[in-house]
Structure formats: C-alpha cells, structure tokens
Structure 1
Amino acid sequence: MTSSDAAGAVAPAAPPAHLAIGGVVRLLCEVRLAILAIGLVSSIAQGGITLLGVLLVVVAAPFSYFPAHSWERRGDLLSRSGILLACDLITTVIVLLVIDGELMVVYAAATVGLLGVIVGMRLALVMAIPIALTLVAANRSTPGDEMSWAVLGAGAAGVIGMAWAGNALGGALRAQAAVGNELAATQARRAATVERVRIARDLHDTVAGDLAGAVMLSESLARRLERDDASESSRRTAEQLVETVRTALADTRAALGELRRAETSVHEDLVEICERWAARTEIACAAEVDPRVSEIDPELAVDVRAVVLELLENVRRHSGARNASVRIEKRETDVLVEVGDDGCGMDEPEQGTVPDGHFGVIGIAERARERGGDVVRSTPPGGGLLTTVTFPLEQRAAVAS
C-alpha cells in the first residue's frame, strides 16, 4: 500500500459545509415558529387578524418548519435555492404587515440573522432593507407617540445589524468546522503513520530477518552442491532458489523503506532522495527544498515525490550531465518542481510522440494533467535541460489534451 492509499483509506471525508451551521439554523427557525404562533394567537384574541392573515401565517410557517427539521438532509439545496429565499422574504414582509406587535421585530431580526448565516452579509443586507422598511411602514402608533417610533427605528436598525451578526456567526461556525475537519484528518494521518511504523517494525523483526537467513542458507546450499559436484539441474535449482530469496528480501526491504518513510516529513524525504541519488550516480545535485512542502496534502506529496524521482532518473539515463539541480517550492496557489542539468538536453518531440527511452515523460505529464497542472521543458543559457512541473494546491479538473 502506498502512502496515498493509506491516506485515502483512513482520512475521514470532510462533511458538507452546510452542516456546520445546522444548529443555529434550527434555533432561528424554531424562534420564528414560536413567534408566529404567539403573534397569531395574540392577534386572534384581540380580533386584529382576518382569515386571510391566518392563511398567510400558515403559508409562512413551512419556511421555518422544514429547515428546522430537515437541514442535515436538504440544507445544501435550501441554502442555494434563490426561489425559496425570495419566497421566504415575501412571506416575511406580508406577515409583518398582517400581524401587529413589537414581538414581530424579533421575528424580523431572526429572519435577517438566518439569512446572514445562510447566504452571507451582502445578500442578507439587500434582503434586510425591505424587511426594515416594512417594520416602519407597519407602525400604527399615533403621530405623537415618539417613544414608539424611537423603539421601532432602533428595531429596524437592529434588524439590519442582524445581517452582519448572522454572517459573522455563520463564518465563525464554518471556520470552526474546517479546523475540526483538518484536525480530524491530521489525527487520522498520524494514526496511519503509527500503524505503518508498527507494521514496518514487525516486518523487520520477523519476515526480513527470516529472509536474510534464508538467503545465507540458500547460498550455502548452492556452494555445497557445486563443491560436491552435484548434477547440473540441482545446481541450477539452487541458483534459482538463491535468486528468488534475494528478490523476496529486496522487495521486503523496499516495502520497509516505503513504510518507514511515513516517519519523515515530506521536506526531509525529498532532500534525502536528492542526496541518495547524488551518492548513487556520482552526479553533483544541488537541492533547494522549501520546508513548507511538508504542509501539502499527502496525496499531492506522493505525486511530487514521484515526479522528482522520475526526472532525476531521466537525468541519470539520458543527459550525460555532471551536475544537476532540484528546486521544490510551495507557493501561494501551487507547488513548483524544477529539475535541471548541464547535459545534452532533449530534442523537442513531434506532437503526439515521445523521444526514445523517455516514457517517464508521459507519466510526469499525466500526473500534472490529472491535477490541473502543467509541464514546461526549456534549455537554460548554459545548455542542458530544465523541466518545470507545477501542481495546484487545490486539485482542478483534468485538462483534456
């Protein structure tokens, strides 16, 4: 299992964004329902509401009831439906005109706060203006009742202010949910790392040790058969056994290296790759790796690592270079990978073809394209080849070639 497989297997999927504000939405909707019920009963008791007004209140109630009871399942749809939001605004204005009482100021404030939480401050402010004007227009106090007008004016201003308050609350809840999701993902990755290290330790203590012993025994057997002048078929079988056990040991050690890599940061891993490559090929490699690459998504880190390995392998196999350079940088919106050398360069292939032996170029281009990135090859002033690969931090749809 690769590190990307492990990350995908254990990292919890981020819950839909609308769930973060579900509790506040339910509370404000229940407040509106309670005020509608109290206002309706009060108006009926005072004889100040007609049958048409009762029907309007009945029509308005579902705009609070359904979000309060189905937000988890349908909240994303409800929050994006302009028609439903416009209908809620219209019924709110009508209800404020039909039902009297200062309690309706609270209903108006709850409505605007709800809009602020759901759709943000700008749209909520636009929708708050007709609600505030309706409150002023619905005032039936006598012209000399200045206190009533002052209270109503303050209430109208407060209703508009609720748009800001609702937006601030909704933003804070969404940010808190995002932090919680990131924390959960971090904990999942940490748990995966611990499990991988445990598996690596167990493999090292058991399978790898047994295979190393099996290599020694099979080699001893092959030497003894040769010394005893055993038949050709027996010696060939012993040699095949030695080769098979050596391959199994090499594969096990490679798996151990992959598992153990989870203990190191992405930055350390990339630096180590460059150092090991330089030591193995005896080609000088100047590596410049941004420490911030350790912050990128684990699956993106796998692609970055694979591209660096493939580009360095191309330098070893095809360039004849004496010097190479690697630069990896995490920028604001993407990750930059640059690998250059002072070798013979690479001829630009005809469209739709790949230079002989450069099949890794296809894999690099595919990895970049799948993430919405790109690959650019150029010739530096001193000659050689410079390959630049960019990966967006946020994966975009693949661009058709």
Structure 2
Amino acid sequence: MTTPVAPERPAHLAISRVTRLLSEVRLATLAVALVSAVVGGTADLADLWVVLLAVPFSVVPALTWDTRGAALSRSGILLACDLVTTVLVLLALSSEIMTVYAAATVALLGVVVGARLALVMAVAIAMTLAYSAGVEASGATWLVALTGAVGVTAMAWAGAALGRSLRTQDEVAQQAAFAQARRAATLERVRIARDLHDTAAGDLAGATMLSGTLVERLEREGVSERTLTIARQLDSACRAAHLDTRTALGELRRAGGQPLDELLDVCRRWGRDTGVAVDLDLDPAYAEVEPELAGDVRAMVLELLENVRRHAAARHVDVVVTLGGGTLVLTVDDDGCGMADDAVPEALASDGHFGLLGLEERAGSRGGRVERAPAPRGGLRTRVTLPLVPDEVEVR
C-alpha cells in the first residue's frame, strides 16, 4: 500500500464559484440596463453592439472557468479587452445600475489578478463611471458620483482580499484532506499487519519450529542423506518465509514517520534479523525529501538488502544516501560473492528472481537509473540515481 501523496490542485479552481457569480452579476446587470435604456428610448444601435461586444467577457468565465480559468487569468490581452469593453459599456449605458456592473468588474479583477493590477484597471473604470454619471450634473450629484467611483475602486481591494482568502482556504482544505487520507492509509496498514500477524505470520512461525524439530529428529534417526537434504531445504524455506513475513509486518506497521527514522529502522531491523552488519550513512538533507520519494528509497534499500541476504553470503553491508545537484544517489556495497557479469535482471526474472527487475522498474518510473559494479571489498556495488524534482521525471 503506497502512502498518499498531496494532490496538485490548480489554483484557479479555488476562486471558480465567486468568479462565476461575479460574471453572472455582470450579465444580469447588462441585461437590466439594456432593457431599461431601450424602454426609455435612450439606446441606439451602437449601444446594442457595445453590449453584445461585452457579453462574451462574462459568458466565457461563467461557463468555462474550471477548464480555462488558468489561461484566462494569465492573458493580458483578454484582461485589457475586458477593461476597454467595460469602459465602452459604462459610456453607452449611463444609468445608476451600471455602478453595480463597474463594482462587479473591479471585484472580479481583484479576485483573479490581485490588488495591484486590479487597482490600476479600477481607476480607469471609476473615472469613466464618475464622468458618465456626472457629465450633465453639478454640485451634490457630482459628489455622489465621485463617492460611487471611490467605492468602486475600493472593490478592487475587497476582491483581492476575497481571492487570497479563498485560495488560502482551498489550500488548507487540501492539506486537511491529505492528512486524513494519510491517516486512513496508516490505519489500513495497521489493520493488514494485525491480520497478517494473527494468521500467516503465526502459522509460519509454527511451521518453522516444526521444520527445525523435523531436521533434528531425522538427524538422530540416521535417515538417508537425500531425505535430510529435503528436510533442510524445507526448514530453510520456512525460515526465509518467516523472515520475509516479519519484514513485511515491519513495513506495514510503519506509521508515516520521518524519512531518516524510517530508513534507520529498516536497516536496524534487517541487520538484527539476519545478523549481517549494516552501516548507514545518510545525508541530513534526506529528512526533507517528499514522502513518495522516501517510500521508494526505503523499498529499494529493503530489496537490495534482501538480495544480499538471499544471494551474497555477505558479512557486512554499507548503505549510503547522498543528495546534490537535483538528484538523490543510493549506494549499497556488500562484501559477498558478487554477481556474474552476464546476470542481468531480465534473465534472473525468467528464473523466478524478480527483485532486481522490480528495482529497475521502480527507478525507471521516477526517471532514474541503476548501475552495478564490483564493490571495493569484493562484493557487489549497486548505485541508484533518482531525480529529486518530480517535473524532471521521465517515465521509461
């Protein structure tokens, strides 16, 4: 069971609801203002064309923000065109309700692009609104128009603050969901480990004891060497299966701790169970690697150690993890019998040994590579190189 990884959610989705709402407000305001102008006899054909030109700048965000929001919010041309059409509409439909259109526009700009750019664009809209409302008025009417223009400009600040708040809330919600998923995965691992311990692990422990007793009894009774060989192979298989089960239980019981502690625990438990000395040299920066990469490194170390146990007949293993230049390098050296030059993972897999092939596939899935060479002390050196940044990964 893999550890859940924090999902990458596009930032524009956090403001999708308020973006659609403000776009719909603009559409409704345009419709009301246009109907009012037509009924009052103050609208002409040019005003109608201006309104039709402005409609797509509200319809498109309202209908497609979830899929196109990221592109729309980054397009300076579209934002400039929206500003121009807003100014033209305010000049064409000079009624009180257009203050609502202006306020919704600057609030929308604040939500989408932030306070600085929204304020610059809001100044032009506010000046147009003030001119449109007070061009034929004087005195107190001008004061009301100016106050409305200032209020519209302030909506840019309000929209920007709302956008920041929505993005923050969305990020917090994602982290909470991620933490809940990690907790659920941990609880599931613990449940599986408990069930495995109560069933297969207990049966294997009993089988190991019985196979050992069987070998001792057959040795005392002086049976044929062929029968003894089969009994010893059975005993060895039971012990290997029991050790594998204990290793799997340890992995399942892991509760999402720190990467350094997890790797230390893997090496310590493996050394204790096998009696082979393990020296671990960890780069302190390994504590900051992302959980998914740490999980892969842990699995690779365990697979390499298990290969040492099964095939190398080693007495000492060195495990080194270093970070630098955007990559993580895992090196495992042993002082065992080494590997034949023609022993490639694919050939071993055809004989039922899938560990090294799985190691190659795991490294390849992260855009990494595996290299093998003779170790300084006569055994095998395995070096795994993995990129640290997910964007650099190329699945092979």
1:308 deviates by 9.4
Residue 48 of structure 1 corresponds to: 42
Q: For 2:20, which of 23, 26, 49 is the aligned residue?
A: 26
Structure 2 distance, partners of 1:220, 1:278, is 26
* Residue 64 of structure 2 corresponds to residue 70 of structure 1: yes
8 Å CA contact 2:190–2:253 kept in 1: the answer is: yes
Q: Taking structure 1 as reference, are residues 185 and 164 closer, same or farther at Cα in structure 2, changes over 3 Å only?
A: same
Q: For 1:397, which of 385, 388, 392 is the aligned residue?
A: 392
Residue 167 of structure 2 corresponds to: 174
Q: Which amino acid aligns with 2:119?
A: L
Structure 2 distance, partners of 1:138, 1:283, is 81
C-alpha distance after superposition, 1:210-254 (max 9, x if no partner): 001111111222222222222222111111111111111111000
Structure 2 distance, partners of 1:255, 1:205, is 14
C-alpha distance after superposition, 1:18-66 (max 9, x if no partner): 2211111111111111110111111112211111111211221121122
Q: Where in structure 2 are the equivalents of 1:325-336 lying within 5 Å?
A: none
C-alpha distance after superposition, 1:78-107 (max 9, x if no partner): 222333222211111110110011221221
1:286 deviates by 11
* Residue 358 of structure 2 corresponds to residue 371 of structure 1: no
Q: Which amino acid aligns with 1:122?
A: R
* Structure 2 stretches lacking a partner, 5+ long: 309-314, 330-370
Q: Which amino acid aligns with 2:383?
A: I
Structure 2 distance, partners of 1:205, 1:300, is 31
Q: For 2:146, which of 150, 153, 172 is the aligned residue?
A: 153
Structure 2 distance, partners of 1:259, 1:7, is 11
Q: Where in structure 2 are the equivalents of 1:1-400 lying within 5 Å?
A: 1=1, 6-8=2-4, 11=5, 13-142=7-136, 145-262=138-255, 264=257, 266=259, 268-269=261-262, 272=265, 293=287, 297-302=290-295, 356-357=374-375, 362-363=383-384, 366-367=385-386, 370-372=387-389, 395=390, 397=392
Structure 1 distance, partners of 2:134, 2:224, is 115
8 Å CA contact 2:6–2:175 kept in 1: the answer is: no
1:134 deviates by 1.6
Q: Which amino acid aligns with 1:195?
A: E
SS at match of 1:262: coil
Identity %: 50
Q: Which amino acid aligns with 1:68?
A: A
C-alpha distance after superposition, 1:333-370 (max 9, x if no partner): x9999xxxxxxxxxxxxxxx98841776732xx23xx1
Structure 2 distance, partners of 1:289, 1:371, is 15
8 Å CA contact 2:283–2:322 kept in 1: the answer is: yes
Q: Which amino acid aligns with 1:53?
A: D
Q: Which amino acid aligns with 1:261?
A: R
Residue 382 of structure 1 corresponds to: none
Q: Taking structure 1 as reference, are residues 93 and 185 closer, same or farther at Cα in structure 2, changes over 3 Å only?
A: same
Q: Taking structure 1 as reference, are residues 7 and 276 closer, same or farther at Cα in structure 2, changes over 3 Å only?
A: closer
SS at match of 1:48: coil
SS at match of 2:392: coil
Q: Which amino acid aligns with 1:30?
A: E
Q: Taking structure 1 as reference, are residues 188 and 172 closer, same or farther at Cα in structure 2, changes over 3 Å only?
A: same
Q: Which amino acid aligns with 2:45?
A: L
8 Å CA contact 2:212–2:235 kept in 1: the answer is: yes
Q: Which amino acid aligns with 2:167?
A: R
8 Å CA contact 1:93–1:131 kept in 2: the answer is: yes
Q: Which amino acid aligns with 2:166?
A: L
Residue 361 of structure 2 corresponds to: none
C-alpha distance after superposition, 1:256-299 (max 9, x if no partner): 11111226555654665687799978899999989x95x87422
Q: Taking structure 1 as reference, are residues 34 and 188 closer, same or farther at Cα in structure 2, changes over 3 Å only?
A: same
SS at match of 1:13: coil
Figure out how many residues of one structure are paired with residues of the other and give that number: 340
Structure 1 distance, partners of 2:298, 2:225, is 46
Q: Taking structure 1 as reference, are residues 244 and 304 closer, same or farther at Cα in structure 2, changes over 3 Å only?
A: closer
Structure 2 distance, partners of 1:289, 1:80, is 39
User: In angstroms, what is the RMSD of aligned CA positions?
Assistant: 3.8
Structure 1 distance, partners of 2:46, 2:115, is 33
Structure 2 distance, partners of 1:318, 1:223, is 32
Q: Taking structure 1 as reference, are residues 267 and 76 closer, same or farther at Cα in structure 2, changes over 3 Å only?
A: same
SS at match of 2:383: helix
8 Å CA contact 1:22–1:72 kept in 2: the answer is: yes
8 Å CA contact 1:14–1:181 kept in 2: the answer is: no
Structure 1 distance, partners of 2:108, 2:50, is 20
Q: Taking structure 1 as reference, are residues 308 and 129 closer, same or farther at Cα in structure 2, changes over 3 Å only?
A: farther
Residue 332 of structure 2 corresponds to: none
Structure 2 distance, partners of 1:50, 1:102, is 18
C-alpha distance after superposition, 1:301-340 (max 9, x if no partner): 4367679999x99xx9588xxxx99999xxxxx9999xxx
1:131 deviates by 1.3
Structure 2 distance, partners of 1:282, 1:300, is 26
